[in-house]
């Protein structure tokens, strides 16, 4: 999908309604946690909406914008106001895969990822890597698409749509990766379209059409979209997106690097 995201960099914001809304909801959730991170990273940052929100919330933190599509990072840099550049407040842009981050151990106080991890067939290696780069006491906060996403198309007979992980499975992965106190919850956001072309256009502008819909051929697409038309409500076609939210902490290690148990003594 790297090529798709690269091509979509210039058009991404035109269709990123869902990503912006989820980013706002994730930002509001930060009101519930008390952290003062020295370094924050938006991983899978796209055009930078998330890192800009984190900079506004944590103005003293060093900001990292990380994405594996360099064209997205170019858009992040292009959107930095000149005054912010003069004040050296521009985020540091890093081209990298979340499963192999070019960061030292214990680098981040907050790792943030909005609607990116679901593109991985297996998110566990990413969780392991995110735990590695978080400092002890650091927070991981993320959102992904859940299995009820575009359930209307599944009801209409679509068989090629991408399958997404259940929030309970993601919670188990966080524990397996060594995170402490994972908290998972979900909600649904419904978008509506005048016609199937609206959905197809949005996904194309975002660079995820093939990744989301899969190898949906012309004939199957016609059949599915014809059946979807029967679900119209007030003249609009419903499209449900299940949003899974998660956050977890990197706790103090229970064993040392050589496998010995760590015991803390307090006076």
Indicate the number of domains in the chain. Answer: 1
Q: What is the pTM of this model?
A: 0.92
CB 94 within 8 A of CB 120: no
Q: What residue numbers bound the domain in which 39 lies?
A: 2-146+163-186+243-249
| CA distance linking residue 99 with residue 131, whole number of Å | 11
Mean pLDDT of all residues in the chain?
A: 93
* pLDDT tens string 122-161: 999 999 999 999 999 999 999 999 999 999 999 999 999 9
Q: Are strands 39-43 and 62-67 parallel, antiparallel or unpaired?
A: parallel
| CA distance linking residue 204 with residue 200, whole number of Å | 6
In a domain, 170, yes or no: yes
In a domain, 210, yes or no: no
Q: Which of 90, 132, 112 is nearest to 27 (CA)?
A: 112
In a domain, 215, yes or no: no
pLDDT at 255: 57
CATH code at position 97: 3.40.50.150
CB 223 within 8 A of CB 157: yes
CB 53 within 8 A of CB 45: no
pLDDT at 85: 80
In a domain, 197, yes or no: no
In a domain, 121, yes or no: yes
pLDDT at 266: 42
Asked if residue 2 has pLDDT above 70, the reply is no
């Amino acid at each position: 999908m790297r090529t798709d995201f690269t091509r979509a960099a210039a058009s991404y914001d035109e269709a990123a309604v869902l990503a912006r809304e989820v980013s706002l909801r994730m930002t509001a959730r930060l009101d519930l946690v008390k952290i003062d991170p020295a370094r924050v990273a938006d991983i899978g940052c796209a055009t930078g909406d998330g890192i800009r929100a984190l900079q506004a919330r944590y103005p003293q933190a060093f900001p990292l914008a990380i994405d594996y599509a360099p064209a997205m990072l170019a858009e992040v840099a292009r959107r930095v106001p000149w005054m912010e550049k003069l004040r050296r407040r521009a985020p540091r842009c890093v081209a990298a895969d979340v499963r192999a981050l070019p960061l030292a151990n214990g680098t981040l106080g907050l790792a943030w990822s909005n609607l990116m991890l679901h593109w991985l067939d297996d998110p566990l290696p990413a969780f392991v890597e995110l735990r590695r780069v978080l400092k002890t006491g650091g927070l991981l906060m993320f959102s992904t698409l859940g299995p009820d996403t575009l359930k209307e198309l599944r009801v209409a007979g679509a068989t090629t749509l991408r399958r997404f992980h259940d929030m309970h499975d993601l919670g188990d992965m966080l524990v397996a990766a060594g995170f402490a106190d994972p908290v998972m919850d979900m909600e649904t956001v419904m978008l509506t379209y005048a016609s199937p072309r609206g959905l197809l256009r949005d996904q194309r502008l975002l660079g995820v059409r093939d990744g989301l819909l899969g190898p949906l051929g012309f004939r199957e697409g016609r059949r599915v979209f014809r059946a979807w038309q029967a679900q119209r409500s007030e003249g609009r076609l419903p499209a449900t997106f299940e949003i899974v939210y998660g956050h977890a902490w990197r706790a103090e290690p229970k064993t040392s690097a050589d496998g010995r148990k760590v015991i803390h003594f307090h006076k």
